[in-house]
Structure 1
Amino acid sequence: MEMTMALKELNDTGGMHEVRALPHKREFDRTWHQIPRAERALIEREINRRLDELSNSPDARWGSITNTSIEGGRVNELTGKPGDWTGTVFDPIYIACGSHEERAGKFFGNVWKSVIISRAETWIGIRFDPTFPNRGITLGGKTYFVDYSASKES
């Protein structure tokens, strides 16, 4: 049986700590359980598919890296609008969050975090303001990347 690795989070002073469980789980579950089980499974499956794609085919320059703001802001193939989850597996998140865009975005990030915590490989999560200081860009979400050195040690 493959052992689950912890998510490691890096803070703005360079300190790192392991995250083996989602913080504020009760609060998370109140919203998460408003979404029917089958729809939750589809959401988790899609996030895992995207993470599998990243970890199995790392970019030669960047490795396996993702940001929840970028993921949530992808162009909707049905509407052509960036960040519109209408008709996607993520739409139930928006509905469960009272159709409140900011709350749904934050909850979306927590769903990603929850899925990442349960994965076999070790991911590192970081959130800095600005996200890309050389370009003056700040994204609201968290950036995650695979820690290949930790994955090889296990």
Structure 2
Amino acid sequence: MLMTAEQEMITTVAYESTFKKRMRNLNAEDYRIIVEELNRIIDGGDVHTSSWIPGSDWRGTLYEPIWISCRQNSTEAAKFYGQILYKVMMDRPETWCFGNYTNARGKTYFRVD
């Protein structure tokens, strides 16, 4: 479950129509593997910063299909990856909130329950 800092439940991915368009270009098996890995990482802690998870060079990693599905556009791939992680956080059973911080690119998620 994902909530705002004001404790409002988030039930849809930000920019949902764009997310759905991007999903059409990502193989379902690649998506499953990415979600599985993100859940494994999230299980390991109570604070996660989105941009620190995949690293900066996705070539040869399980995140590479995101980059390929975005026509090797790193900016678009980063946005799509952020949406995937956002969805993973929404779908988790525990409660998470997020914030944006100047020293960290992307969102930082905090477990709150």
TM over 0.5: yes
In structure 1, the residue matched to 2:100 is 127
In structure 1, the residue matched to 2:72 is 99
Aligned amino acid, residue 92 of structure 1: P
Give the TM-score normalised by structure 1: 0.68
Q: Secondary structure at the match of 1:141?
A: strand
Distance 2:41 2:54 in 1: 12
Aligned-residue CA RMSD in angstroms?
1.3
Structure 2 gaps of 5+ residues are none
Distance 2:24 2:33 in 1: 14
Match of 2:53 among 57, 60, 71: 71
In structure 2, the residue matched to 1:29 is 20
Distance 1:92 1:9 in 2: 29
Compare the two structures and name the one with the higher helix fraction.
Answer: 2
In structure 1, the residue matched to 2:83 is 110
In structure 2, the residue matched to 1:77 is none
Matched, 1:140 2:100: no
Match of 2:4 among 9, 19, 22: 9
Match of 1:50 among 36, 41, 51: 41
Distance 2:30 2:54 in 1: 17
Distance 2:20 2:94 in 1: 24
Residue by residue over 1:110-136, the C-alpha shift from the partner in whole angstroms, topping out at 9 and shown as x without a partner, is 1100011000000011113x2xxxxxx
Q: How many residues align?
A: 113
Q: Secondary structure at the match of 2:9?
A: strand
Residue by residue over 1:38-75, the C-alpha shift from the partner in whole angstroms, topping out at 9 and shown as x without a partner, is 11100111111111122xxxxxxxxx1010111132xx
Cα offset, 1:16, TM superposition: 4.2
Distance 2:34 2:54 in 1: 12
Q: Does the 8 Å CA contact 1:106/1:141 hold for their aligned counterparts?
A: no
Q: Greater RCO between the two (CA within 8 Å, min separation 6)?
A: 2
Moved over 2 A (4+): none
